């Protein structure tokens, strides 16, 4: 069975994806997932930051196995095509039989936003004395829009959406799409919850702009040489990782700053009372993306697509 992006769009919803990702993260931290480090090869298509990469991400979880091949070409943004593209193969764990091959671009987009929604839902009640209202987004691309859609499922009090992009017209277009407003980077960074989702290789978010109680969702800056967050952000935040292993190896913000990871989100989901998150201070959730998340999403897509075929 081949499942196109249009078919994925027709069956994958945040209502189903968010709880599936939540359980997958709990199981990952509990040691119930077999997931080796992703293999990354440089494409050699260009010099500097436009040099793309090709990655292989295998995983075994529950009754299924899967592998995602994903490319990231930063220069694609300048020519109007997606920077990330992917394919996912889903297999039956019991027999090794292939179940489906599907386009993985939208799955990657949605599972990334769903991970942040799961993290927000776990962290926010422990950190904020009252529900946060303002959301600052550094970046105006696919993940900006996806995160607003995903977070609205778990953040009912989101009201003030602030968008910053180095290209003002992009910020204004994104703000129009999500019901927000284009602002300065300092104003976006002063929100209760701040997300960074850029293609920058150098820090764009400075700690001096953050509110004393900020919750930061660090989504970009993937790769040990890339940074989105400056040392003050890393130094003043209680750092929670999607995975100690993956984030410690693949996040340039963590590698470059030497920051210490305090907990995995799956541990907090399983035992909120042991999180150690304070009402005062700042919290950072850092994600780099994992194969287990792709598998959880792909399994949902396959199940829904199979049901449609039966009908």
Please, are residues 91 and 64 in contact by the beta-carbon 8 Å criterion? yes
For β-strands 33-34 and 134-138, DSSP reports them as unpaired
* Spatial separation of the C-alpha atoms in residues 274 and 310, rounded to whole Å: 45
Q: Tens-of-pLDDT digits for all 311 residues of the chain? A: 899 999 999 999 999 999 999 999 999 999 999 999 999 998 888 887 778 889 999 999 999 999 999 998 988 888 888 888 999 999 999 999 999 999 999 999 999 999 999 999 999 999 999 999 999 999 999 999 999 999 999 999 999 999 999 999 999 999 999 999 999 999 999 999 999 999 888 999 999 999 999 999 999 988 888 899 999 999 999 999 999 999 999 999 999 999 999 999 999 999 998 878 888 899 999 999 999 999 999 999 999 998 877 76
Question: CB neighbours (10 Å) of residue 23?
Answer: 14
Separation of alpha carbons 200 and 166, rounded Å: 10
Q: How far is CA 168 from CA 30, 38, 87, 162, 174, in A?
A: 44, 35, 33, 13, 10
Question: What values do phi and psi take at 147, rounded to 5?
Answer: -70, -35
- Nearest to residue 88, comparing CAs of 113, 116, 110, 117? 110
Question: How many CA atoms are closer than 13 Å to the CA of 89, on its beta-carbon side?
Answer: 10
Tokens in use for 288?
């780099």
Q: Which residue has the tokens 């293999």?
A: 39
CA distance 258 to 235: 9
What is the longest distance spanned by two Cα atoms in the chain?
56
Map out the domains of the chain with their CATH numbers.
2-107+291-310 (3.30.1780.10), 112-286 (3.40.50.720)
pTM for the model stands at 0.95
Q: Are 65 and 97 in contact (CB under 8 A)?
A: no
* Cβ 234 vs Cβ 153: under 8 Å: no
Looking at the DSSP bridge assignments, the partners of residue 42 are 53
The Cα-based distances of 19 to 124, 195, 227 in angstroms read 17, 21, 30
Which residues make Cβ contacts (< 8 Å) with residue 135, sequence separation at least 6? 148, 151, 155, 158, 160, 161, 162, 180, 191, 192, 193, 194, 195
Using CA atoms, how far apart are residues 30 and 9, in angstroms rounded to an integer?
A: 31
Helix (H, G, I), strand (E, B) or coil at 282: strand
pLDDT reported for residue 311: 65
Identify which of 1, 22, 3, 24 has the alpha carbon closest to the alpha carbon of residue 12: 3
Separation CA 278–CA 298 (nearest Å): 35
Of 288, 164, 159, the closest CA to residue 217 belongs to: 288
> Is the separation of the CB atoms in 224 and 252 below 8 Å?
yes
């Amino acid at each position: 069975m081949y499942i196109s992006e249009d078919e994925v769009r027709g069956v994958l919803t945040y209502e189903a994806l968010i709880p599936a990702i939540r359980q997958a993260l709990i199981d990952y931290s509990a040691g119930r997932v077999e997931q080796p480090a992703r293999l990354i090869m440089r494409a050699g298509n260009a010099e500097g930051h436009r040099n793309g990469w090709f990655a292989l991400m295998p995983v075994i979880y529950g009754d299924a196995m899967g592998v995602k091949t994903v490319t990231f070409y930063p220069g694609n943004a300048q020519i109007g095509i997606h920077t990330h593209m992917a394919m996912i193969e889903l297999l039956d764990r019991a027999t090794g039989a292939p179940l489906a091959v599907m386009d993985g671009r939208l799955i990657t987009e949605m599972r990334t936003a769903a991970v942040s929604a799961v993290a927000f839902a776990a962290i926010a009640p422990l950190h904020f004395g009252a529900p946060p209202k303002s959301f600052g987004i550094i970046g105006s691309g696919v993940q900006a829009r996806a995160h607003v859609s995903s977070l609205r499922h778990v953040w009912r009090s989101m009201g003030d959406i602030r968008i910053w992009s180095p290209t003002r017209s992009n910020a204004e277009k994104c703000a129009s799409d999500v019901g927000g407003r284009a602002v300065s980077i300092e104003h976006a960074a002063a929100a209760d919850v701040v997300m960074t989702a850029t293609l920058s290789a150098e820090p764009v978010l400075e700690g001096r702009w953050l509110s004393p109680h900020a919750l930061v969702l660090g989504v970009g800056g993937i790769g040990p040489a890339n940074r989105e967050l400056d040392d003050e952000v890393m130094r003043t935040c209680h750092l929670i990782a999607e995975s100690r292993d993956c984030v410690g190896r693949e996040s340039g913000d963590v590698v470059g700053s030497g920051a210490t990871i305090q907990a995995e989100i799956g541990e907090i989901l399983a035992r909120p009372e042991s999180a150690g998150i304070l009402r005062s201070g700042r919290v950072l959730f850092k994600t780099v993306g994992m194969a287990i998340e792709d598998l959880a999403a792909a399994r949902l897509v396959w199940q829904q697509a199979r049901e449609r075929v039966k009908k």
